[in-house]
Amino acid sequence: MPTLIEKPKQVAYGHFLLRIESGTEHSAPGQFINIRTSRQNDPLLRRPFSIFNHERTVMSIVVKSVGRGSEILSQHPPGAIDAIGPLGTGFTLAANRRVLIAGGGVGNAPLFYLIKTLAGLHCDITYLYGVRAKELVYLPEQYKRHSNRFIITTDDGSEGTRGYATDVASELAAGGGYDMIYTCGPLPMMRAMVEAAKSTPVEVSLENYFGCGIGICSGCSIETADGLKRACVSGPVFNGSRINWDSMQDIY
């Protein structure tokens, strides 16, 4: 069974970094692990977390404490942790590309593993790190190290550029010159990125509500141009232009 190496480390207000000895060296940026938070079946369902980083067999995730499950995880003692994975699909990786990446809040997590990998593939990376306020920014130095241009945006202007990451990203995307755009964050943000991208391909990583995370319950199905797709097995990474964004309005 996977092991939590050390107690969760707070990296921003309400955000915790968990380092897990996973026993595997194999995963792809965009994939997730599914963690059971209680042996007493309450909370019952596993919680999905995108892989933030993977070095040798050590995987790390960023947990934002928002409910009972994530609160339990943020206080998880070191030792055995009931995690299944890696699960789901990863981002498309290609070498020597100009890429634009926009993350929102905890949605920045899978994008770190992505840029680290893309930097190794000699991509030119423009990274837009969007959060509501300064105290929610986690590990910016690490993101900066793997980006050619790194811009923080905050809703209240307490750090970096004031406004939404999508405002800046849309402007950049509209200017063209990118081979690929990647985004993960709140639904309105990802939708805005897809709309701003025009003909540039956009990959999004969805964070909607999962039941099982392994494809058996169909609880996370979303509408796409290719029919209904289970976000946990056909995703969480999707081609953004194939998603029926109107149908996502009422989905958490």
Partner 1 sequence: MNLSIKIKDLVLKNPVTVASGTAGYGEELSHFIDLSKLGAIFTKGLTLQPRPGNRGNRIIETPAGVLNSIGLENVGLERFLSEKLPFLKQAGATVIPNVAGHSVEENVELCRTLSSLSEIGAVELNVSCPNVKEGGIIFGTDIGLFTNLVEKARTVTRCALIVKLSPNVTDVGQFAARAEAIGADAVSAVNTFLGMKIDIRRKKPYFGNTVAGLSGPAIRPLAVRIVYQIYEAVSIPVIGLGGIASFDDMLEFIMAGATAISVGTMNMVDPGISIMLIEKFGIYMESEKIGNMHEIIGIAHSPGGLSEECP
Contact positions toward partner 1, by CB under 8 A?
36, 41-46, 84, 209, 211-212, 214-221, 223, 227-228, 233, 247, 250-252
Q: Is 23 left (phi over 0), alpha (psi -120 to 50) or beta?
A: left
Minimal distance, residue 221 CB to partner 1, in Å? 7
Minimal distance, residue 48 CB to partner 1, in Å? 12
Minimal distance, residue 42 CB to partner 1, in Å? 4
Q: 73 burial class (0-12, 13-18, 19+ CB within 10 angstroms)?
A: buried
Minimal distance, residue 95 CB to partner 1, in Å? 31
Q: 55 or 209, CB closer to partner 1?
A: 209
Minimal distance, residue 81 CB to partner 1, in Å? 14
CB atoms under 10 Å from CB of 117, counted, come to 18
Considering only CA atoms, which of 117, 156, 150, 119 is closest in space to residue 136?
Answer: 156
Q: 92 or 221, CB closer to partner 1?
A: 221
What is d(CA 94, CA 89) in angstroms, rounded to the nearest whole number?
Answer: 16
Q: 201 or 211, CB closer to partner 1?
A: 211
Q: 42 or 141, CB closer to partner 1?
A: 42
Minimal distance, residue 44 CB to partner 1, in Å? 6
